[in-house]
Structure 1
């Protein structure tokens, strides 16, 4: 693995969580880099793509608490943004109840979920909306976003409204010092997203391109990582979209190409059926299913700490290097 590259962007002195500022060195355990704790993406009326704060909140708290106790879970990056059923007060309640810091987000998802204020709005107006949330709080609360995301597009090229949203996200990130996490639908269009974001002056090391484990193209992953952007393998356990065996192969290819310092991992729990109480894999599948297989493939404690803690913290802060670890128990190899 090559040495970490030197990054030139301004560094944030702390993480902004739903319960207040947190020094990045205070996070001593693994980070879930892309999750949802409260969510409403229902468009079919079946209420499947929902994580309701009242109905499902207790199960979410239980899972996060167990992960903190068993694996030292140190932080959850919660990427539910505008138009996705975001609930800032509920996130603060979940964070306090589970004893796990949570970073909230602002931005707009991909076009089918855009809120009415996107229609016809200029990039300047949209930028102002995001900057005000970062500086003043979400929807009249004192909960401030600590990341911009998951800003979305679908297809190889973003639509015109998606371009405006991406440009606004980049400008808001440059203004506030936050980083940007994207939703590349089914893993496609990451290079185009990166181009739009960087053209607005946002350094690649403050960008995470989402859902790349759904794209079976190691060349694209290498090119994104070589640019300095983070490559998110963030749908671990969603076997209906991609097998974990394929995810592992793609991740190992990226690591072998020398880009271990650019990979992010998470499960992207995005419907209540994924919760363990409903028979799903839960937020912990990364620890109980995927990481043991990664360790069996040769990953040691230092590599796991890099992937799970140092990379996401470096992404969130714009490049501040966390102290070395590991500090928390990590999964052992899969028993033969």
Structure 2
């Protein structure tokens, strides 16, 4: 049985159109540049065999330098860090990076997927997991002992939570269910990890069955799934379709990503698209020779422009869509007409 809203602690929503960042509430009207809605600025998955899957204090300087350059060159305004429980989440590092770069950062809570779920998930009831997430949102995340003058960081997203196949396993169902119920109680959105793009429709069905509206859900890694019909289905049902591994050519080429994106735009679903790079290893940092957080701006968006996508549509996908996903409200300067000039009749 899920906790009733009147029985559960509830997070303070803050003023309308406000984002929860690691530095506090930020009005949406203050976000004038693009948003990266799925990245990692602090991460540690080494215990699962990924020796390269780490972003820690050794990399903070490189990350800060890269984000500062992107702010200067492209106006980068906001990064959503989707590192959740058990993934090496470091709220203090996020706060330092944001302060050093002038780029706003949103932190997250939740549990990842199958192989990365900690023992606490196996034996906990769904209600216990819901309570843990709501406490994160209500009381904040950070070190167990708070030093004088330190305030905890309150997450602005539940994610990335997910599954690894066409249908979630038993433990994944538990964590996805808890994420949805906590989202309903707190008003936060949910972003998923769909491994290799698979299982999105099942994730959406499970999350919405808990009362979570589809427009509060982003289904992740859909650019890894060459299935335009699935993308159209998710968007038609109201979810955001995240093309969020842009630049990871070892998984999928950007040429295929662009083809899939154009198909979704031509179907009239530009207002459901999210774009990001999902930097999740230190080898991806530009300072280590990787594509970095800026690949979207330096490489993919010029490809999109060459394919006929105009600047207003790019602003929709890189700024207005992620802001609407995060807050549940339409951001300023939304065009009055149809958002997708490529839409077919």
Q: Deviations over 1:150-197 (max 9, x none)?
A: 001110000011001001000000000000000000100000000110
Tell me what 1:111 maps to.
Answer: 114
Q: Cα offset for 1:42?
A: 1.4
Aligned residues of 2:45 and 2:87 also touching (Cα < 8 A): yes
| SS across alignment from 1:321 | coil
Segments of structure 1 that go 5 or more residues without pairing to the other structure are 1-9, 327-336
Cα distance in 2, alignment partners of residues 117 and 145 from structure 1: 20
1:50 and 2:51 equivalent? no
More off after superposition, 224-233 vs 38-47: 38-47
Q: What TM-score, normalized by structure 1, do the two folds share? A: 0.91
* Higher RCO (C-alpha 8 Å, min separation 6): 1
Q: What does 1:286-301 correspond to in 2, within 5 Å? A: 286-301=296-311
1:321 corresponds, among 305, 330, 334, to: 330
Aligned residues of 1:12 and 1:177 also touching (Cα < 8 A): no
Cα distance in 1, alignment partners of residues 50 and 196 from structure 2: 22
Q: Cα offset for 1:44?
A: 5.3
Tell me what 2:103 maps to.
Answer: 100
Q: Cα offset for 1:206?
A: 0.2
Cα distance in 2, alignment partners of residues 46 and 126 from structure 1: 27
Cα distance in 2, alignment partners of residues 154 and 55 from structure 1: 30
2:66 corresponds, among 63, 83, 91, to: 63
Q: What does 1:5-20 correspond to in 2, within 5 Å? A: 13-20=17-24
Q: Cα offset for 1:259?
A: 0.1
Cα distance in 2, alignment partners of residues 195 and 12 from structure 1: 28
The Cα RMSD (Å) is 1.4
Q: Cα offset for 1:205?
A: 0.2
Q: Cα offset for 1:250?
A: 0.2
Segments of structure 2 that go 5 or more residues without pairing to the other structure are 1-12, 145-150, 336-345
Tell me what 1:90 maps to.
Answer: 93
Aligned residues of 2:184 and 2:211 also touching (Cα < 8 A): yes
Aligned residues of 1:29 and 1:72 also touching (Cα < 8 A): yes
2:223 corresponds, among 210, 213, 217, to: 213
Aligned residues of 1:17 and 1:104 also touching (Cα < 8 A): yes
Cα distance in 2, alignment partners of residues 131 and 239 from structure 1: 37
Shift in alpha-carbon separation, 1:51–1:233, aligned structure 2, 3 A: same
Q: What TM-score, normalized by structure 2, do the two folds share? A: 0.89
Cα distance in 2, alignment partners of residues 325 and 134 from structure 1: 29
